[in-house]
Amino acid sequence: MLDNPQHPALDESSFRYEGWRIVAVCFLLATFGWGLGFYGQSVYVAELQRARGWPASLISSGTTFFYLFGALLVVFVGEAVRTYGPRLCLIAGTLAMAAAAVAIGAVREPWQLYLANAVLAFGWAGTSLAMITNTISLWFDQKRGMAISLALNGASFGGIVGVPLLVSLIGHIGFENAMLIVAGAMLVLLVPVILLAIGRPPELHRWQAATKLKPQSSAEIRKAALRDVGFLTVTIAFALVLFAQVGFIVHLISFLDPIIGRERAAVAVAVLTAMAVIGRVLFSLVIDRLNQRVASALSFLSQAAALLVVINLHNDYLLIAACAVFGFSVGNLITLPSLIVQREFDSAAFGVLISLNTAINQVTYAFGPGVVGLLRDVSGGYALPFYLCIALEAVAAGLIMVRGKKVS
């Protein structure tokens, strides 16, 4: 840490430090971002299949388009935050996500689904991992890993509250009206909070970056990262696992509905996301004393084991228990890439590297729902696509153990 009498060190561990207020805002942002943009996809697939009678592959291809287009936007999140500031970017992301929720509820034709998912991609880029980590990095350095971990608990909270609430609302007032209400709630809760809480980031981190002898541009950082073995193994391993994870979660309600019923399927998703919170909180207590790559590999293998149970055992309680085991690692797999990058790479490059990591991962896992849906349609069941997910988890567990040099 650089010292300068005009730029005293910030006490990031102090409860009074303003950065923790930013963490609270990002928690709320993640709640809606993941609730509507990630976990909500499983509800959209099930509801559009039910209401329109469209094949799973058609609806899932819309989800794939959403992730692909969103990945193109995520690459530039770091530059957007630096150019326009976090407050304006967060407001833009919130408005786009609310507009997308309304649009998805109003879908009547397949082309409208793609248009709604395009708007949703803008909302996802402005409310999810890259935006949250870039925003938090403006306030945190030493406690960045903890701050990101706490903020991203909002992602799991979005699944815990969002999916059951959305399913309940749809059951009472219909899909379109439910999406209107959720969009309105997002605007009412988030916009005032962002305007009031998000101010000017402290100057310290910008001053530290400026004092480096050879500052790198974003393009130079990306170019170096794509030649770095350590960065590539982290990125590719998590891309494979997130491909499997997203494909499984998006189709989870559709898979469980005919086996245990719609309401218990919603409970299984809620249990999965609740365990994601528990897993991340417990993990955060010991992560600084663990090898984070080993912890990642064990997380991948635990998900593979859970998928084996889901495929082969159809008892209600065993299925929910398997979802709990799978969910225990879900939150950590969102957080771990940030923690590994924070530990292994130059902190000045953190925002750019996380945006790049997120974009590459998203391009890969964008195909998860579509491939799972296609294999399901071709094979007549979910066993084949879920076994593919198990294989990807196993490959990733080996790959994550390969570590290279730091990006300099």
Contact call for residues 365 and 239 (beta carbons, < 8 A): yes
225-241 confidence digits (pLDDT tens): 888 888 999 999 999 99
Residue with tokens 């196993």: 394
CA distance 301 to 318: 18
List the one residue out of 135, 70, 37 whose CA is nearest residue 338: 135
Instruction: Please count the other Cβ atoms lying within 10 Å of the Cβ belonging to residue 216.
Output: 18
Region label for 353, one of left (φ > 0), alpha (ψ between -120 and 50) or beta (otherwise): alpha
The pLDDT value given to residue 215: 58
Identify the residue whose tokens are 């969102």: 334
The helix/strand/coil state of 7 is strand
Give the type of residue at 112.
Answer: Q
Centroid of chain to Cα 244: 14
Q: Which two tokens stand for residue 265?
A: 């399927």
Q: Which two tokens stand for residue 133?
A: 């980590």
**27 vs 30, 153, 287, CA distance in Å?**
5, 7, 20
Q: Yes or no: say if 39 and 161 are a contact pair by the CB < 8 Å rule.
A: no
Radius of gyration of the chain (CA): 20
Maximum Cα–Cα distance across the chain: 68
Q: Which of 363, 58, 402, 406 is nearest to 221 (CA)?
A: 406
**CB distance 244 to 392 below 8 Å:** yes
3-state secondary structure of 226: coil
**Residue 199 backbone class (left: φ over 0; alpha: ψ -120 to 50; beta: rest):** beta
Q: Which domains does the chain have, with CATH numbers?
A: 19-207+218-399 (1.20.1250.20)
**CA-to-CA separations, 269 to 13, 163, 287, 324, 399, in angstroms, rounded:** 34, 7, 26, 9, 29
Coil/strand/helix, residue 314: coil
Output the pTM of the full model: 0.76
CA 45 to chain CA mean position, Å: 18
Q: Which residue, among 138, 92, 356, has the nearest Cα to 228 in the 3D structure? A: 356
> Which residue type sits at 371?
V
- Tell me the pLDDT of the chain (408 aa) as tens digits: 334 444 445 666 676 777 888 999 999 999 999 888 887 887 887 888 887 778 777 887 888 788 789 888 888 887 788 788 889 999 999 999 999 999 988 888 888 889 999 999 999 999 988 899 888 888 877 777 778 888 888 887 887 777 788 888 888 888 889 899 999 999 999 999 999 988 887 765 544 444 444 556 777 888 888 888 889 999 999 999 999 998 888 788 888 877 888 778 888 888 887 888 788 778 777 776 778 899 999 999 999 999 999 888 888 888 889 999 998 988 788 778 888 887 888 777 777 888 888 889 888 887 888 888 889 889 888 889 999 999 999 999 999 998 865 544
Paired residues of 4 in beta bridges: 7
Contacts of 220 (CB under 8 A, 6+ apart): none
Tens digit of pLDDT for each residue in 132-162? 988 888 887 777 777 888 888 888 788 777 7
What is the C-alpha separation between 360 and 309, in angstroms, rounded? Answer: 30
| 3-state SS assignment for residue 4 | strand
